[in-house]
Amino acid sequence: MSEEPTIVDRPAQPCVSVRATVTMDTIDTIAHRIGEVMGWLGAHGHRPAGPPFIRYNIIDMAGDLDIEVGVATEYPIDGDGQVVSGELPGGRYVWATHHGAPAGLVGAVGGVLDWAAAKGLTFDREQTPRGEHWGCRVEFYNTDPAVEPNPDNWVTDLAFRLA
For every residue of 131-159, DSSP letters joined together read EEEES-EEEEE-S-TTT---GGG-EEEEE
pLDDT digits (tens, 9 = 90+) for 15-44: 999 999 999 999 989 988 999 999 999 999
How far does Cα 141 stand from its chain's mean position?
Answer: 8
d(CA 104, CA 111): 11
Whether the predicted pLDDT of 3 surpasses 90: no
Q: Of 137, 18, 124, give the one whose Cα is nearest residue 71.
A: 18
**List of domains in the chain:** 6-161 (3.20.80.10)
pLDDT at 2: 61
pLDDT digits (tens, 9 = 90+) for 85-136: 999 999 999 999 999 999 999 999 999 999 999 999 999 999 999 999 999 9
d(CA 41, CA 6): 31
How far does Cα 133 stand from its chain's mean position?
Answer: 14
Q: How confident is the model at residue 1 (pLDDT cuts 50, 70, 90)?
A: low
Find out whether 62 and 19 touch, Cβ atoms under 8 Å.
Answer: no
Is this model's pTM higher than 0.85 or not?
Answer: yes
d(CA 68, CA 27): 10
pLDDT at 90: 98
Q: How confident is the model at residue 81 (pLDDT cuts 50, 70, 90)?
A: confident
